[in-house]
Structure formats: C-alpha cells, structure tokens
Amino acid sequence: MDSGRENIIKEIAQAVSKKGGTAYYVGGYVRDELMQIENDDIDIEIHGIECDTLEKILDSAGERIEIGKSFGIYNLKGLNVDFAMPRKEYALGMGHKDFKIDTAPHIGTEKAAGRRDFTVNAIMKNVLTGEIVDHFGGMEDIKKGVIRHVNNKSFAEDPLRVLRGAQFASRFEFEIAEETIALCKKMDLTQLSKERVFDEMKKALLKAEKPSLFFENLRKADALGFWFREVYSLIGAEQSKLYHKEGDVWNHTMMVLDEAAKRRDNAQKPLWFMIAALCHDFGKPISTESINGVLRSYNHEINGVPVIVEFLQRITSEKNLIKYVVNLTELHMRPNKMAADKSGIKATNKLFDKTFFPIDLLELSASDRFGKIPRPENNENEIFLKERLKIYNEYMSRPYVEGKDLIKEGIEPGESYKKLLEYAHNLRLAGVSKDEALKQTIAMYKKEL
C-alpha cells in the first residue's frame, strides 16, 4: 500500500477512535499480508460507532461513495478502500443473495468475525496499533495450510462458500479441512446464480498455479454434479494407454489445466484460454471406442462441441467466449500433427487463419502435449510451430488485396466479390505479393466471365 493511501486510512481511523470506535483491516487483505502476498483490495470494518457518524467522518476526508448504504458499505472517491459496518445476516432462502442484512456496530469483533466464511479470512488487524485479532485460529490454519470454515450454521446458509473454499484451496495450495468437506457435501448448489459460479471458477483459473485443485476439491466435496457435470463425466473415462499413461481423461485434463496455467500469460485471452484447456477433451467420453484392442478417440474434438456449448451456456452468457472455446477445441489436435509431419508453410498459415488468436491455439496444443505421462522430452513441436507463426504474422503484415483494389481495376461490387477476395487471401497465405495476387485475381475474374 502506498504511503499516501495509508495516511488517509490512518487519519480516518484516528477520527473513528476519537468518536469511541475502532477501525480494523479485515478479510483477504489481512490474510494476504500474513502470507506475504500482494493485495491491493483493502476492506476496513468500523466498530463502535453508528453509520451516520462514520458518514460524517468520511465526508470530512473526501467525497464519500455509498456502495451499499442499507448495509453500511462506503468508499472514498480515488481511495479504492471499502469502509464497512459490522453486519448481521439472516438467510431467507437457499440462493447466494437470499439474505436480510442489518448493520450491527456494537456486536464486537468475535461475532463480526464469526460471520466470515473461513478462519483464514476471519483475522482482523487494528489499523492504528497493528494488533492482530484472531478469534478462530486463522493464523494457525495459514501456517498449516488449511481452509477451515468458521461456523457450521452461517457457512451452510451460503452455498457459494463451497466454491470459494475450492477456489482458495487452489490459489494457496491449501488442504480443505475434513469437517469442512463433510459440511460441503450436504449443501445444495443448484440455486446459485451462474455469474457467481463463473466468478469463483475464473479466480481459480487465473490466479492459481494449479487450477486443477479447484476441481479436485469440488470432486472431494461431491460438488461437481450440477454446474460441472461435463467435467465430472471425465472421471473414469478411459483413453489410450499408448499415449496416456496418466490414467483417465480426468487426470489428463487436470494435468493440461496446470500446464496451461504456466502459459496463460502468453495467451491473448487468458481466461478463455484456460476454459478451453478445461473443455478440450469433453468429446472423449462419447467418442472413445476399442478398435482392434486399442482405445481410439477419433473426432473427439468435433464430437465434443455440443457438450462444450451445453456446459458453457450453463455458466456464462458470453457468446464470444463460447465461440472462442469451440474454435480452439475443434482445432487443438492439428498443430502437433502438423509439427510431426513438418507441414508446409501454406498449410500452417491456413490453420492459423482459421483461429481467432493463433498463439492461443499453439499454447493449448502445447499444454495438451505436455499435460500427460510420460511428459515429452523436447519442445521441438513448439519451436517448429512458433517459427511458422512468425512467418504467418509477417505475411499478414504485408499489403494485401482489398475491395477498393478491385474497384480500381473496374470490377464492380457484386456476387463475385467474396469469391475473388477469398482467392486473393489464399494467395496471401501462400506468400504471394499484393501486386502479383491482384494480377492473378483479375485473371481469374476475366477467365470466369
């Protein structure tokens, strides 16, 4: 935290103290500070004063922003720090949002921390003194690497916490406590909104070095069946032991996910790329068959498309994401095959031209290749393909035939335009210069008149 921001926070904490209250850092900020993880998302809880008093203090410090006045959450313009009152929550239903919330500034730190989800998130730190308040053993659980729920009743009231537990376990590579797993198994996740489910998966896929742990922990908690049933179907799905000594499709997919996490920063669309890694073999359970005693999964990359679409439509409304994942899945087998065959430049150019972001396809293909046992001993395929991608990018940077060029040559826009431009584009993929491509395109046009 920069010193200017810290000084403003301390000035507010001092004003709170003068009114008889106390300001505490709470939640993930304290947890991450103890774990020496950088976190710019700061939450402060104000105890011992009423909402109107806090509002006056914030007004004197800057331009107050009401994030949720009815349950006492404020911010200051330009500060990006949440100031919140302690709250009491009452479950009204089974959904993540089915709660009645009241501010409760005088309930004390133990009851306030008791409404948190996990012990590692229930640690508080006095803003002015630096004193740590840890009612539920969160610091010990950090040392042991354990995700443990705080309170049976409040935890069970919010099913999203099953996913949050798996998300934290994957990010920090912690174990989820047995008693927490047992409680998770009893919880119904079907009433959660898809946006909240997607958000927890997103955090695991983008923040964890081993995002496989998110799904492994959901598996332990019997929590895959509704939202992630297609992922669940990978368990026990056989694949050829000639190529996959790691076991079933589940094991392979988890290894691919962790391999993809090493490469996601190279992708143009890191989140979408990670989702493609998760989905890339959804077609195997319905495609694998024994042929002459050998398991084969012919066309699984195509057969899996309807399965992928059904899964993604359940967890997101982002149509472009779905198109991207389908595209990468359909093509993910081709790069390694082309590298093995040492395919020509025009062939690799045509492949790159079929995908939204060629580098994402190559990183997925590499993740698929390395996400198995035995792990390949070399990266010859990657070297070959990335050299070819350089060539493709260089070709694509050259001047090319456009519609206006055809008009200059006296070819009026019409039904033939699309065909002519496709012809010119194919010449471009073959490395033909713009001038030569234009000549050949005009010649083709005249020939077909």
Residue 22 pairs in a beta bridge with 47
Tokens of 274: 């990670």
The DSSP call for residue 192 is S
Which DSSP helix (H) or strand (E) runs through 142?
helix 138-144
Taking CA atoms, 282 is separated from 235, 247, 260, 328, 404, in Å, by 11, 16, 16, 13, 44
Q: Is the dihedral of CA 437, 443, 447, 449 positive or negative?
A: positive
What per-residue confidence (pLDDT) applies to 99?
Answer: 60
Domain ranges of the chain: 1-136, 159-227, 235-397, 398-448
Q: Does domain 1-136 have CATH number 3.30.460.10?
A: yes
Tokens 């989820």 — which residue?
A: 176
What per-residue confidence (pLDDT) applies to 87?
Answer: 86
- Which CATH code, of 1.10.3210, 1.10.8, 1.20.1070, 1.10.357, is assigned to 235-397? 1.10.3210
Taking the domain 159-227, which CATH number applies? 1.10.110
User: Which amino acid, one-letter code, is at 282?
Assistant: F
Tokens of 83: 């100031």
What residues contact residue 295 under an 8 Å CB cut-off, 6+ apart?
238, 239, 240, 241, 288, 289
Which DSSP helix (H) or strand (E) runs through 8?
helix 3-18
User: Which amino acid, one-letter code, is at 28?
Assistant: G
Whether the CB-CB separation of 444 and 423 falls below 8 Å is answered with yes
Using CA atoms in the order 268, 271, 275, 280, what is the torsion angle rounded to 10 degrees? 20
Question: Mind listing the pLDDT tens digit of every residue in the chain (449 residues)?
Answer: 788 899 999 999 999 999 999 999 999 999 999 999 999 999 999 999 999 999 999 999 999 999 866 678 999 999 989 999 998 876 665 555 556 678 899 999 999 999 999 999 999 999 999 999 999 999 999 999 999 999 999 999 999 999 999 999 999 999 999 999 999 999 999 999 999 999 999 999 999 999 999 999 999 999 999 999 999 999 999 987 777 888 899 999 999 999 999 999 999 999 999 999 999 999 999 998 888 888 888 899 999 999 999 999 999 999 999 999 999 999 999 999 999 999 999 999 999 999 999 999 999 999 999 999 889 989 999 999 999 999 999 999 999 999 999 999 999 888 889 999 999 999 999 999 999 999 999 999 988 87
What per-residue confidence (pLDDT) applies to 247?
Answer: 87
What per-residue confidence (pLDDT) applies to 91?
Answer: 61
What per-residue confidence (pLDDT) applies to 93?
Answer: 59
What per-residue confidence (pLDDT) applies to 310?
Answer: 98
Q: Is 156 exposed, middle or buried (0-12, 13-18, 19+ CB in 10 A)?
A: middle
What per-residue confidence (pLDDT) applies to 86?
Answer: 94
> For the chain, what is the mean pLDDT?
94
Other residues' Cβ atoms within 10 Å of the Cβ of residue 97: 12
